[in-house]
Amino acid sequence: MTSLANKIKEAIPRNDELLATLSETDHALPSLEQQRRYVDDLNSQLSTIQRRISVLDKQRVKEFKEHKKYRDSVMKRFAYRVSGKTDEFRAKAEKEEREYFSVLQEERQAKEQEESLKAMRSKALEVQTDLEAGVARHIEAQEQLDTLYNSIFQGPTPAFPEEDYLEENLESALQAYRNSRLKMETEVQTGHLLIDAQTRLYKALSYTEEALSHSRMDMFGGGTFNDMMERNALDKADSQISQVMLLVRQAQRMSPMVQDLPPINIATGNLMGDVFFDNIFSDMAFHEKIKDSLSSLQRAGASLRDQIALAKSRYQDAEEEMNINEVALQSAREELQRARALIFERIDNPSASGLVITIDPPPY
């Protein structure tokens, strides 16, 4: 008995050290699980967008050949003019131009998405590496603690059912904590993605307002320069919205509670029609399209603000639940340690008075 009591006393400092490590790294396992899901999702999206880029690259080469055929063919233009089919030539030229620049824009946006996904994956992998180190520490500490307890208890303790009951209670508390931690980490990640989407959407709003300003000047004889600046701003807005939709889809993969944004329509035109066949009526019509684009962005912005508020609320609820479970986990650990300490003392000094383990009796 004395030998067992001495063994317990000698183990106390190491026991405290290992329990502190476990408490410090409890979050690592559920956080790592969530982070790996996030990285897997990024890898999946990256593979999809890279396949899309490959398809668009081939399509762009094909469309450029068709576009170049009409753009550079003086003889073809002349033949249409001679035959009195100038309008038909113009229509075909505009069609080829639209198709080429549409594919060109799609490919550029896809490549921007690819770079964005690569950067996000790089940061996510750094976080994953840190969490893996935390999990390794947690596992090692748990293994050492198990070894320490096994060296003291030497197998099952049927004579002390209260100790076995508290071990089961600790395992249940640990699982509840991990589940709630995973839920909280999910909502944290969801919130970050939605906030990033909101930043992009604000940029798209700014570019669209810039396009609207150039459009006003264009209606009052602004000329080709304002046409070009208008289209440039809209193109930038469209690129930002492409990123917004990517981020919202990622947030939806993290949390099914995230809803789709209202439709966003960025006004588009074609350079040949705007420059060579420009007039006040076409300028006014396109000005209205830009105003519609601005309205759709404002509606999407309001929806996104609501989504962020809801994600924050879900995070706060999950955090509250996790904190409760964390307290319960710590209490379960401390209760088990107290029970073991009392068991050790009772074994060492069976005649001691007042050494009563005050816990609910095991359900068996």
Domain boundaries, the chain: 12-155, 157-351
pLDDT at 364: 37
pTM of structure: 0.67
pLDDT, the chain, mean: 80
CA gap 333, 335 in Å, rounded = 5
pLDDT at 328: 94
CA gap 178, 184 in Å, rounded = 10
pLDDT at 75: 46
pLDDT tens across 142-173, in order? 888 878 876 776 545 565 677 778 888 888 99
Highest mean pLDDT among 19-28, 87-96, 208-217: 19-28
- Place 174 in a pLDDT band, splitting at 50, 70 and 90: very high
pLDDT tens across 228-244, in order? 788 888 889 999 999 99
Using the CB atoms, write b or e for 279-305: b if 16+ within 10 Å.
eeeebeebbebbeebbebbeebbebbe
Q: Taking Cα atoms as reference points, which of 114, 117, 113, 108 lies closest to residue 60? A: 108
CA gap 130, 32 in Å, rounded = 9
**CATH 1.10.287, applies to 12-155:** yes
Mean pLDDT of 72-94: 55
Cβ pair 108, 60 in contact under 8 A: no
Check pLDDT > 70 for residue 73.
no
Comparing 26-30, 117-121, 279-283, 293-297, the range with the smallest average pLDDT is 279-283
